[in-house]
Each structure stands twice: as structure tokens, then as C-alpha cells.
Structure 1
Amino acid sequence: MAFDLESISEATSGAIGALVSTTILYPLDTCKTKYQAEVRAHNQQRYRNISDVLWEAISTRQVLSLYQGLGTKNLQSFISQFVYFYGYSFFKRLYLQKSGSKSIGTKANLIVAAAAGACTVIVTQPLDTASSRMQTSAFGKSKSLWKTLSEGTWSEAFDGLGISLLLTANPSIQYTVFDQLKDRLLKGQLVNQRQTESSPQALSAFSAFVLGALSKCIATCLTYPAIRCKVMIQSAESDDAVRDEAQLKARKTVSGAIYSIWKREGLLGFFKGLHAQILKTVLSSALLLMIKEKITKTTWVLMLALQRYLFTTRTRLKSS
């Protein structure tokens, strides 16, 4: 039972952290996504900086549209983080049980994180695609989740699945770096507890924030070109976008996205919006991990209380 409790505790803490951080940073995420999705020659760009997206929303009195797709994004974030943290905790404990080791090495940690990430991507890809289309729609013209998904075919709901699976390297790198740094930081602070079930050790809020920011920054820089291509593939078509159907379909493939960026923006185009991506993802991940670390003990205690309540109830029913 302890096995399941720890996995569920990790998953719940991670999901709540994702929900809070996503909501706080959503306007920044919308501006970043719209900026990344635009692929034009330098003299034809609608947005020269990420601040231009914000100014457009303000000047057109569509500030609330910066939150378009928030519900879908929160749903996707909650489910993805729950699945990821549950899968990560599950596979990690399974590896330790099968190997008989007391700790997990870097290589094994990468494999475990990648497996959890792949499961997460497959489960949440339609929601990820829908949220990207909502964010990149013209301000005030975003559609509901059902309409967004029902407009195209079922396969289109999985646009960018291949590159999303490739990007599982991002959280794999992030959480591996975070876990390794966390273990080193807590190594001298751990106190042997002989209780049957003890609450997990937790970082301070500041330490979790710094380690989360550092680990995510490293992962983002390494995988950014793929992130830019993914946004292009999943983005909604604007009114002044390319109207040729063949070109539109070509841009919805990885090779087409790469060619389009190279042709119109050159090599530096693959890193357009990197600063905004780092700012958003670093803050988001740092907040997520900070919140997760601070509520892990509370979640653990609640899970233990629930376990004892269910055990007591079951015992009473059997004795009656």
C-alpha cells in the first residue's frame, strides 16, 4: 500500500503545482506562443518582440483574451503532471525494487523519466494541440475545446506527436538534474528514521525554486529548436497565413516546419523567442517544483490518514 501512496502523493503534489504555476504565468505563455508561431521574413513580421503581442491585446481591448484557452491548458497541465509524476515515481520505485539498489543512477533516471514522459505525451496530446490552437488564434476568436478538436480529423488532434515524444528529453533532463542536485543538497541533512512510514524529506522553498530554475534552463536551451517547430505545427491558421493547402499541410510536418523557418528566418529563426521560452518555462517549473515540495508532506499526511481511515472502516465492517 505504501508503494501506491507515495506514487499518488507525488502525482497529486505535482499536478497541483502545475495548476497553480500555469494559471499565474498564462498571459506570458500566450504572448510567447503567438510570438513563436509567427514565421515571416524580418521585414514582414507582425511581432518584432514578445511585448508587441501584449500591446496588441491592450490596444484592441482584448486583454482578457490573453487567457484564451486557460481552462484547456489547466486541464492538460493537471493531467500531464499527474500522469508524469505518478509514472516517474512508479517506474523509479519499480526499478529500485527489481535492481535491489538503494539509489537510482543518472542513466537509469533518464530512462525512467523518458518512459514517464512518453506515457504523458500520448495521453495528453489532443489537449496540448487544442490549447496551442486556442492560444495562437486571433484575440477574441478562440473557440471552445470541443469545437477546436472537432474541426479537424482525429489524427489532426495528434499533430506534433512525434516531436512531442522527442521533447520528452526536456523533462527527462530537467527532473534528472533537479533530483540529482536535490539528493546532493539533502544528503547531509537526512536523519535516519526507524518508523515504518515517514514523510519524505523536502527542500526549502528557495532551494527548490533555484534548483528548478537551473534544471529547466539547461533543458530548454538544449531542446528549443524542436520546441519552436512544435508550436508551428500545432498553431492555428491566422487570417493572413499561407492559403495554399499544400503549403499549409507541409508546414504541419517536422520537415516542413524546419524548411519554413530556414527559408524565411534563417538559422537564428530556430532560436526566435528563446529568451521568452526560458523566462516562462524556468519560472513555471521553479514555481511547480517549489509548490510541489512544500505540499508533499501535507499530501503524504492526508494519504496516510485516508489509508488508516479506510483500514479502520474495513476492520469494523468485517467485525460487524
Structure 2
Amino acid sequence: MESLVEATSGAVGSLLSTTILYPLDTCKTKYQAENRAHHHQKYRNISDVLWEAISTRQVLSLYQGLGTKNFQSFISQFIYFYGYSFLKRLYLKKSGFKSIGTKANLVIAAAAGACTVVVTQPLDTASSKMQTCEFGKSKGLWESLSESTWSESFDGLGISLLLTSNPSIQYTAFDQLKSRLLKEKTRKRGGEAAASPSPEALSAFSAFMLGAVSKCIATCITYPAIRCKVVIQSAEADETKDKSRKTVPGALRSIWEKEGILGFFKGLQAQILKTVLSSALLLMIKEKITKSTWITMLALKRFILVTRSRLKSS
């Protein structure tokens, strides 16, 4: 029950945060995908992408691929939160510990993230291609998938698996900070715990701040891999049709030769802004709807049990 509640609230939070911040995500992805020498760059900063959409009267194109992104985001977050919660509870049950340590938390988060990546990679690749298309020329999900071979749908899978360390770091930091904050709140109340079956939740502000801090740390550490992944997934959209960019060594070499070492951090500010806001919103929404989701699940469970009992008696 708890795993299902975590998965549902996390998926809903992801869906809402993705929709709210999608125009920023599109601008960020198009800016990151550009891999040219400095004097040939089309976009000098992320605001140039926004201005292009406005000047060409394609503002609505900032939402191109939104349906695919939301679909991918909902599925990935549901799988992640369900797997993360399930594996964490299984570990505590098998180990007999009352709380989970940082190392074990990292391993569990990475395992949940790896499962999520393998299932949703084709949707992630299709979403990136749709976002990096020229404004007004984006294709639908089925068309984007059908144009690629099965192996091409998993472009960047290796580096995506590497990037499972990002949410691992983020959610581990968030859980540890959340646990300490709730313990401090309990201590200040004199150690009186509520006799409610529902889990205690953070305030919206606390969840937002903890989510922002944890995601900022994770993003800074893993950003070079994030940039490399975008370059790989958008390779077909590049006018040079450089097929070597579809491999990790090729993408690394392309970024190094054309942009230098600073190229690995191109768009870092935009990435931090987008991911921190997205993660903070996701965790804030998740924390606020967890209790209502828990109550709904309990009511649904009771309804099913009562209905089953009546059917048996009749």
C-alpha cells in the first residue's frame, strides 16, 4: 500500500511539474543540443531560443512533444517511486534495521533508477528529438519512433544508466534531510507522535527547499554526462549528420573539439534552473498529496473488502 501511494503521488507530482516548466525545458534542450564552434553558434544563450520562437510566431511550439514528455515522465516516476519504496521496505524487512543508511539508500535508488531507464528510454529519446526539431516541424510520438530502428530508440541508454546516479544522489539527500527535519519537529513537540496510520509530511515550503538543494547538488555533479546525452539523442537533427555523435566517445570528442572543456558545462545554469524548479515542485506536490492519496487508497481498499464480503455472503 505504501509503495503504491508513493508511486501515485510521485507520478502526479511529476506530471504537473513537467507541464508547468515545459517551455523552459524545450529552450534548455535546444540550447544544449547545439554543438558548433563558438563563432558559428546559433544560440548565444537560452533566451535566444525563446526569442526565436517569439519572432517566428511559433510560441506554441515551445510545447512540442509535451504529450510524449508527460507520458514518459508519468511512467518513469511511477516506476521509480514504486521501485524505490518497495526496495527500501524490503531492505528494512530483511535487514531488521529501523532506518536505512546512506550507502544502502544510494544503491536502492540506483537500482530503481536503472529499471526506470530501461523501460522508458525509447520515450526519452523520442521526446528529445521532438524538442530539438525546428519550431513548427515536430513530429508525433508514433512517427518519431517508427523512423528509428529498435537500437536507435535506445540511443544514450548507457549514459542514461550512468545518470541514474543523479536521482540517487538527489532522493538520498532529500530523504536524509527530510528524516532529520521531521525528527527535529517531533523532538520539539516533546516526542509525541501522532497515532495516525498516514505518514507525516513536510510543509510545502520545506519540501520545496529540500528538493531544490538536493537536485542542485546532483545536477552539478552529473552535468557533463547530461550534456553528452542530449548531444547523442539529437544527433539526427544536426545539419552535419555526423553519425559519430551517436556514440559516447564521438559526442565527447565533438564537444571537446568544437567547444573546449567549457562546452561540457554549456547550459548548466539553465539546467539547474529547470531541474531544481521541476524537482522542487515535484517533491512539494508529492508531499502535499501523499496524505490525501493515502486516505483515498485506504477508502478504496475498504470499499473493495466490503464489496467482496457482501458478494461472498450473497
* Aligned-residue offset at 1:249: 2.0
Q: Is the 8 A contact 1:137 1:236 kept in 2?
A: no
* Aligned-residue offset at 1:189: 2.8
Task: State the SS of the aligned residue for 1:217.
Answer: helix
AA of the residue aligned to 1:92: K
AA of the residue aligned to 2:34: E
Task: State the SS of the aligned residue for 1:237.
Answer: helix
Unaligned runs of 5+ in 2: 187-191
Q: 1:95 aligns with which of 87, 91, 95?
A: 91
Task: State the SS of the aligned residue for 1:189.
Answer: helix
AA of the residue aligned to 1:267: I
State the TM-score, normalizing by the size of structure 1: 0.95
Task: State the SS of the aligned residue for 2:215.
Answer: helix
AA of the residue aligned to 2:79: V
CA–CA distance in structure 1, aligned partners of residues 243 and 89 of structure 2: 43
* Aligned-residue offset at 1:194: 5.1
* Aligned-residue offset at 1:314: 1.1
Task: State the SS of the aligned residue for 1:251.
Answer: helix
User: What is the 5 A alignment of 1:39-188?
Assistant: 39-188=35-184
CA–CA distance in structure 2, aligned partners of residues 211 and 299 of structure 1: 22
Per the alignment, residue 18 of structure 1 pairs with 14
Q: Is the 8 A contact 2:79 2:116 kept in 1?
A: yes
Q: Is the 8 A contact 2:33 2:132 kept in 1?
A: yes
CA–CA distance in structure 1, aligned partners of residues 288 and 202 of structure 2: 8
Per the alignment, residue 192 of structure 1 pairs with 193
CA–CA distance in structure 2, aligned partners of residues 93 and 117 of structure 1: 16
Q: Give the percent of matched residue pairs that are identical in Structure 1 and Structure 2.
A: 79
Q: Is the 8 A contact 2:174 2:210 kept in 1?
A: yes
Q: Is the 8 A contact 1:174 1:219 kept in 2?
A: yes
Q: 1:295 aligns with which of 265, 289, 314?
A: 289
* Aligned-residue offset at 1:318: 1.4
Q: Deviations over 1:84-143 (max 9, x none)?
A: 000000000000000011100000000110010001001100000000000000001100
Q: Is the 8 A contact 1:134 1:236 kept in 2?
A: no
Unaligned runs of 5+ in 1: none
Q: Is the 8 A contact 1:233 1:251 kept in 2?
A: yes
AA of the residue aligned to 2:310: R
Q: Is the 8 A contact 1:73 1:131 kept in 2?
A: yes
* Aligned-residue offset at 1:152: 1.4
CA root-mean-square deviation: 1.0
CA–CA distance in structure 2, aligned partners of residues 42 and 55 of structure 1: 19
Runs of 4+ in 1 over 6 A off after TM superposition: none
CA–CA distance in structure 2, aligned partners of residues 188 and 283 of structure 1: 26
Count the aligned residue pairs: 309
Alignment of 1:306 onto 2:300: yes
Q: Is the 8 A contact 2:80 2:113 kept in 1?
A: yes
CA–CA distance in structure 2, aligned partners of residues 118 and 21 of structure 1: 22
* Aligned-residue offset at 1:236: 5.4
